[in-house]
Structure 1
Amino acid sequence: MKRGELDEVGDLVELARDLYGDDPAASEELDAYSRRLQEPLRLAVAGVVKAGKSTLLNAMIGEQIAPTDAGECTRTVTWYRHSRTAQITVHRSDGGVERMPVRRDGSHLVLDIGNLTADEVEWIDVAWPAENLRSTVLIDTPGIASLSVETSAKSTRFLTPENTHSAADAIIYLLRHIHAADVKFLQAFRDTAAGASETVNAVAVLSRADEIGSGRIDSLLSAARIAERYRQDGELRALTLGVIPVAGLVAEGARTLRESEFIAFRSLAALDRTVRERLLVSVDRFTRPTNETALSVAVRQDLLRRFGIFGVRLGAALVRAGADSSSELADRLVQQSGLIDLQRFVNQQFRSRTVALKARGVLQGLDALLRAKPRPGTAPIVRGMEHVTASTHDLAELSLLADLRTSVLSLTPDDLVAAERLIGGNGTDALTRLGLAEGAPRVEVRERIDGLLGHWRNLSESPLSMRATTDLCRVVIRSIEGIASEATGPRRSSLSPGDVVLAGGPA
């Protein structure tokens, strides 16, 4: 979906603004849709209490600006967006707005809402000059299933509102185990009042993955096996596009690694193996007074707070394996943490679909508004919405992707897998859709396209195919044709994932 098609959605919002100009509530809602269309991808981070949301968010930003303690600010919805200058704005529940001072405590940003309580704050807007916020607005949400009813209600009102579509374009949902509260929330996010969702726009993160193996050096391998079982779970598969294990504390520590911490890791790595293993056998052993290491108890406690026992063990092992500078250690820790896998997933599945996800959210919000407040003159808006929906292939792909994961369709198992891959279920770049390796020769790409077009056209034209199967085939065929039109363009001997941009690919 191209930006021009998003402009069409913006035009529909303007038509509605003219029509509802005498309705303050509707006008405010339409103003929000206009802002949403102009912003980068809105990615919310949600999960139950103590799932590690703020820690993961800090790792994604690359700075410690999201509060991770149990203060008032962790009980509010907080937006983090890019800005040249730092600003913190509190939006009160009564509609008032207050600018708060920007203060830092060492490397941490201090979010201070003054004399206000969390119940008096609807949301906090943090504008921050971080490069990683240029292409994404990150939204931290209070814990689901919190002991505080109002705290949980804030997340529910924001992510699963009753009368409109969620203000988030996509969601990273953190879970430690599949719990009934997790499934209930994801179902609500998928099925808002705007109607049954036409896409699966959530990814589950097996958070605190290092704790699954009790902090052993192979903990993430154990977490990966559990994540794979969760991916195959029928209930969760219908609600998320994937399940990714991430050691959030390790990722945050790596993205904000200090030189003094690298020196401490190097000191641990230099210890005799028997001494080091004895020291790292448990949290209690690592933090008790001892003459076996020159590191003070305070330094060791700080390492444990910043990286966890798994991260301390991993950091020392990586230094022994050749990480000879703080930047090298940071890079290797990030790689091991699972953060890169999550970022790659977000890029492939959400950021590449930013325009389509925004269009879908605004269109569903408009539809809900027109239904809730019908009045003469809405016919042109309705026709425009129908035109955008019918003519935009990205939206058709998203709708089909949801059907493939939630409905029983009359296709062979192999065709179901292939259809999901071809419409971008595994990633939106061309070679991933085609099921080819990176750098595949042009001739191989051409042969694969020809074979796929022949297969899906035959299936579409078969007299035995049901109407639903024929409609599905048409969407898949158009996706393949999008690859074909690009593959015949640039004169290259091979294609890499970034070479082909489909109508359903990056905007």
Structure 2
Amino acid sequence: MSGRFVGFAPSSDSRRSPVPTDRPTARVARGTIPSVSTATEQQHLAGPLSAAVATLCQQLQPQVSEGTAAGFREVLRRLSAPLQVAVAGRIKSGKSTLVNALIGRRVAPTDVGECTRLVTRFQYGTVDRVEVVRTDGRRQVLPFDSTGMIPASLGMDIGEVSHLEAYLTNAVLRDLTVIDTPGLGSLDSASVARTEALLGAADTGGLDPVSRSAVAGAEAVLYVVTQGVRADDQQALAVFTAATGRREAGPVNAIAVLNKADTIAPESVAGADGDVWRAATLLAAKQADSLKPRVADVLPVIGLLAESAETGGFTSADADALRQLAALDEATRDTMLMGADLFTTWDCAVPAGTRERLLERLDLYGIRRALTALDAEPAITAGALRRVLLDSSGLAAVRGRLDAVFRARADGIKAAAALASITALAHASGDAGERQRVHDAIEVLLARPEAHQLRLLEALTLVAGGSVAMPQDLAEEVLRVGSSADLGEQLGLRGRPAHELTAYALERAGWWRSFASFGATPAQSRVAHVVHRAYFLIWQQLRGGG
């Protein structure tokens, strides 16, 4: 792959032929980006690129075998579905707690049990329910338990269960499906196998295993790490290539979070100056360097605090208990906050059971943050105190990064994933003519200026995955240009005046064009032409010309 920049449909046949069709409406004409035929379809697609790929898929269906066409229908269904983000990581890294915080409802089980060994897809539905999907395709509907969570026991042999699908009347899930996965590293082989084989592969109808594999997978990954980044975390993240339909996890479709940031000892991180959050931020930056280019960023978060503040776990009764603790003399407070055992056993007016609940919901870090807020503003309301805790959790930054990396680029991510699936389906058929027709149709689409985002995402993936070797400084520039939707960030000049951005974009466009012509290998040259075009389009946009 390192010798050719081949697009999404590599083919051993270098001949180019028009896409044959029996119907005029099925022709993929040069000079136009096709759009889906109905307003309903357009309404549910992420954007114009997804619409173009959807129309391409519709037009190719009558030109391929029935097996491949069935796969194309599944790709169409996935294109119109919300962006699918898999939350992945090691066991006990706090994935389910973070899932609850992101959804805004405590619904995913966080204690180790049979349900934590299964893939669970949280998606929007008009009626709250859990569907148990068996390995033979049969489904059984279960209600949530009395606390609103997925039942701790399914009442059946877990070996016969493929995965769970939870439907929630939750606005967050209208444009984002969140997939909770079993932790890797310490689970039984059967759980890991289910995760790798079935993640995102629900509702693929009667597809054969090869076709199912070609269209399966989430389109993006949120990887959860803790302070002790292990040497094989790269390998663990690579396992979730299966979670993205065999497309490499990279800065286009993967970010990581440093969870349980409050457990980091500030003295263990140089430059932290005794501040826990600063220590977490510095450690997250180091982890980002070690996990590159697999992830776009690593952000610190306290999942437990985020879950409690965002899902209703923090109540007015908890606020009242914290007020009582804030009224204690300083020496007593300081002693109690030295450790969890002292906090729950020390003799004071607040009942031990109440303190245990606070510790379970907030941990000592959250309790300290709440007491500091009460010291500064004794009359602070329970709602305002909850917001202080939420702000202290780091969840807002994680959501912001999810929006910047995933939601804002959902159109390109979904279109790229769909094209990869279309190509894989054609190759799996073993029909050289079918493969060539798909290749030609995709090349027509990619040739359009509007489809440059797909070329850029592909170039980024090739460089990030090492398929095209680049000098480190140039590789980092490719990653920067392709990993953000913000023009200033793309140029590495965030916050600088527009005239500086404009001049720099034009200068870099010229440099990459020269590099493509002189000194670059053929594979590097193809990437360089894409980066040149990206800078040129940025320059046009800054000048108001496009």
TM-score normalised according to structure 1 size: 0.84
CA separation of 1:329 and 1:435: change in aligned 2, threshold 3 A: farther
Amino acid corresponding to residue 248 of structure 1 in structure 2? G
Structure 1 counterpart SS, 2:130: strand
**1:328 pairs with 2:384:** yes
**1:460 pairs with 2:513:** yes
**1:270 pairs with 2:270:** no
CA distance in 1, matches of 2:454, 2:507: 24
**Residue in structure 2 matched with residue 505 of structure 1 by the alignment:** none
CA distance in 1, matches of 2:95, 2:75: 26
**CA displacement at 1:197 relative to structure 2:** 3.1
CA distance in 2, matches of 1:94, 1:214: 51
User: Contact conserved, 2:220 with 2:244, CA < 8 A, in 1?
Assistant: no
CA separation of 1:267 and 1:387: change in aligned 2, threshold 3 A: farther
Structure 2: gaps (5+ residues)? 1-32, 34-45, 202-209, 269-273
Structure 2 counterpart SS, 1:475: helix
**CA displacement at 1:410 relative to structure 2:** 5.5
CA separation of 1:117 and 1:21: change in aligned 2, threshold 3 A: farther
Q: Aligned to 2:240, which of 189, 210, 213?
A: 189
Structure 2 counterpart SS, 1:168: coil
**Residue in structure 2 matched with residue 296 of structure 1 by the alignment:** 351
**Residue in structure 2 matched with residue 14 of structure 1 by the alignment:** 58
Deviates more, 1:91-100 or 1:181-190: 181-190
CA distance in 2, matches of 1:138, 1:279: 38
User: Contact conserved, 2:61 with 2:72, CA < 8 A, in 1?
Assistant: yes
Q: Aligned to 1:147, which of 163, 181, 187?
A: 187
CA distance in 2, matches of 1:85, 1:222: 43
Q: Aligned to 2:256, which of 204, 227, 237?
A: 204
User: Contact conserved, 1:190 with 1:239, CA < 8 A, in 2?
Assistant: no
**1:127 pairs with 2:182:** no
Amino acid corresponding to residue 68 of structure 1 in structure 2? T
Per-residue CA distance 1:238-283 (angstroms, 9 max, x = gap): 2111212211111111213211112222222222221111111111
**1:348 pairs with 2:404:** yes
Amino acid corresponding to residue 355 of structure 2 in structure 1? R
CA separation of 1:295 and 1:219: change in aligned 2, threshold 3 A: same
User: Contact conserved, 1:143 with 1:155, CA < 8 A, in 2?
Assistant: no
User: Contact conserved, 1:46 with 1:173, CA < 8 A, in 2?
Assistant: yes
Give the count of matched residue pairs: 476
Q: Aligned to 2:499, which of 430, 446, 450?
A: 446
CA distance in 2, matches of 1:6, 1:134: 17
CA distance in 1, matches of 2:267, 2:141: 42
Amino acid corresponding to residue 481 of structure 1 in structure 2? F
Amino acid corresponding to residue 208 of structure 1 in structure 2? K
Q: Aligned to 2:178, which of 118, 138, 143?
A: 138
User: Contact conserved, 2:109 with 2:116, CA < 8 A, in 1?
Assistant: yes
CA distance in 2, matches of 1:69, 1:347: 29
**CA displacement at 1:297 relative to structure 2:** 1.0
Amino acid corresponding to residue 36 of structure 1 in structure 2? R
CA distance in 2, matches of 1:406, 1:382: 22
Structure 1 counterpart SS, 2:214: coil
Per-residue CA distance 1:444-484 (angstroms, 9 max, x = gap): 31342133213431442366442555444432333233334
CA distance in 1, matches of 2:158, 2:60: 34
**CA displacement at 1:39 relative to structure 2:** 1.4
**Residue in structure 2 matched with residue 369 of structure 1 by the alignment:** 425
CA distance in 2, matches of 1:265, 1:207: 25
CA distance in 2, matches of 1:6, 1:144: 32
Q: Which has the higher contact order (CA 8 A, sep 6+)?
A: 2
**CA displacement at 1:172 relative to structure 2:** 0.9
Amino acid corresponding to residue 302 of structure 1 in structure 2? R
Deviates more, 1:166-175 or 1:5-14: 5-14
CA distance in 2, matches of 1:213, 1:193: 35
CA separation of 1:102 and 1:31: change in aligned 2, threshold 3 A: farther
**CA displacement at 1:194 relative to structure 2:** 6.7
CA distance in 2, matches of 1:350, 1:328: 30
CA separation of 1:486 and 1:327: change in aligned 2, threshold 3 A: farther
User: Contact conserved, 2:109 with 2:152, CA < 8 A, in 1?
Assistant: no
User: Contact conserved, 1:41 with 1:135, CA < 8 A, in 2?
Assistant: yes
CA distance in 2, matches of 1:99, 1:49: 27
**CA displacement at 1:487 relative to structure 2:** 3.5
CA distance in 2, matches of 1:228, 1:449: 29
> How do 1:482-497 and structure 2 match up within 5 A?
482-489=537-544
Structure 2 counterpart SS, 1:157: helix
CA distance in 2, matches of 1:65, 1:274: 39
